[in-house]
A and B are shown apart, each in its own frame.
Chain A
Amino acid sequence: MAIAKVLGIETEYGIAGGPDLDPITASSIIVNAYAQQGRTRINWDFHGETPELDARGLPGLTSFAPIVETHLANTVLTNGARLYVDHAHPEYSSPECRSPLEATLFDVAGEEVMRRALVVANENLEPEHAITLYKNNSDGKGNSYGTHENYLVSRDVDFTNVIRAMVPHFVSRQIVVGAGKVGAETDYGHDADPAFQLSQRAEFFEEVVGLETTLKRPIINTRDEPHSDAERFRRLHVIIGDANLSQVATFVKLGSTALLLAALEDEGPEGFPSPPRHPVRAVRAYSLDPSLRAVEICEDNRWRSAWDFQDELWEIASTYAKKTGGEAVGDEEEVSLVLREWREMLDGVRDDLDAVADRVDWVAKQRIVNGIQERHGLNAHDAKLRAIDLQYHDLRPEKSLAQRVGLKTLLRVDEVREAVHNPPRTTRAYFRGRCVARYPDQIAAANWDSVVFDLGEGPLQRVPMMDPLRGTAALTEDLLEVSSTANELLRALDR
């Protein structure tokens, strides 16, 4: 039986402006602006961070371990998320969620957190130093930053099977969840000189499997840092995704991937389509072809388009859901919504783009890029078209183009507002978030798998949370309610 697909998204936001035009300064201003609003002052705890561990065992000689920066602004929010400066970007890592819709909610709440931080930060800056934020993945000049998904996977699944089963999905899902890009920005991309691509990220991928995330980006990232009981769990760290502005796209990206991982856990990799012989070439070639006609030779000697892959993968997910109910991913209603939206997007991108311009980010973006190009008779490389691309992702309501193109929503505004402050009730994020809200002065630090209390006297006390499905509202709400101080809470936990 597949384990619950606990999941979440980390997003590095693009950032411009600031007092000295230094992105690290500007990112710190954003994180501190939010923290200083009294919403959180609690530091992240780096205990247990091991980004250098490789799921394949010994790291390859060409793999360099990521560096953990510990001196930059880094906080835990009352909704269980982490808000911090990663390299030169402000990053929001959503709390752990129990279903794709919940994870979409907390991803969208992250946009709202950033928007609020932006308002507070800019109130204290001269207008000419105002900061702007973008939920995108590249600057159009060859620099990319990530939107990473995380999925809880059973340790029993052999990692080679994860690679075998998931490469087809990761190279092809961009046809429904790609965010779209005007032009190209790498040597490879420049050679092809496309007017428009499906994905922000595809052309930055250079390896099939690897540990790195910033250089030689791999389609399958092997970082083996489960942030939980390593005997039982893996955390699949998916770095090949675009930041979506469409809520439906985020939902389908998470839901489709989670369903396929659950199917892999229960049924093994045999039923999955044969992977392309050259996955890196495939992911780039598919991105470069919005007509969706590009085909790639696969290990079974068949040629497949990205659409062919997605069609086969949808069948696997759909059959699996029929057989099991898909409860590892979500309740029946939610799983059928994933399958329905995924199917409609697939059929739409092939047969009727207008029908899915309200859900597929690249279609929505391409529609306005083409429209403006035609209206003003512009060259395909006109700066105005690149400006549309960039401004699609602008977080400011008065500038955002994504907010104007008529994207369908799945979430109510009041739900999002709630999720800015309150954690999901379904995972250990509940305990983390509620502790941060209730006992801010008695928490020394927190991270994904523990909360560290400082009771004023005696040693610091760490409460481990090695199972993402413990620490839920069902298990801890009553206890938290009756404990008015952390001392009381810890005494009750001890019993």
Chain B
Amino acid sequence: MAEQERIQKQRTERDADTTHDVNVDATKGDQLKAELDDLLDEIDEVLEENAEEFVRNYVQKGGE
């Protein structure tokens, strides 16, 4: 959350300082990066704790 706020703040400052030639792609890039960071935080939270055992125990019989 703090990371998100910091990025938001940076962006606001930069937007205010820049009167022309705003680099739209860089802003979009920052935003994507921030979104991905939040998503990865969430994934770290819900991911099965013992990944090794979780993966090892998942054995299926073939189907179809």
Contact = CB atoms under 8 A, between A and B. Distances in A.
B12 to A, nearest CB: 23
B46 A371 contact: no
Contact of B59 (A141, A144, A371): A141
Contacts of B13: none
Contacts of B42: 404
A387 B54 contact: yes
Contact of A214 (B40, B60, B64): B64
A214 B60 CA distance: 13
A388 B47 contact: yes
Given A146-B63, A383-B54, 12 more contacts: A89-B63, A138-B60, A145-B60, A368-B39, A371-B40, A372-B43, A372-B44, A383-B52, A387-B47, A388-B47, A398-B46, A399-B48
B22 interface: no
Interface in B18-58: 32, 35-36, 39-40, 42-44, 46-48, 51-52, 54-58
B40 A139 contact: no
A19 B26 CA distance: 53
Contacts of B40: 368, 371-372, 375
Interface of B: 32, 35-36, 39-40, 42-44, 46-48, 51-52, 54-64
A134 B62 CA distance: 14
Contacts of B43: 368, 371-372, 388, 401, 404
Contact of A143 (B32, B46, B62): B62
Nearest to A14: B60
B55 A140 contact: yes
A3 B6 CA distance: 58
A354 interface: yes
B46 A404 contact: yes
Contact of A387 (B32, B51, B59, B62): B51
B63 A88 contact: yes
Interface string A362-404: 0000011001100100000011101110110000001101001
A406 interface: yes
A470 interface: no
A398 B43 CA distance: 11
A16 interface: yes
B51 A87 contact: no
Given A384-B51, A391-B47, A371 B36 contact: yes
B39 A405 contact: yes
B51 A12 contact: no
A214 B52 CA distance: 28
Contacts of B51: 382-384, 386-387
A384 B59 contact: no
A87 B42 CA distance: 36
Interface string A143-156: 11110100000000
B46 A401 contact: yes
A138 B58 CA distance: 10
A86 to B, nearest CB: 6
Contacts of B52: 383
Q: Which of B32, B44, B63 has the most CB of A within 10 A?
A: B63
B35 to A, nearest CB: 8
A15 interface: yes
A291 to B, nearest CB: 20
Interface in A57-107: 66, 86-89, 91
Contacts of B36: 367, 371
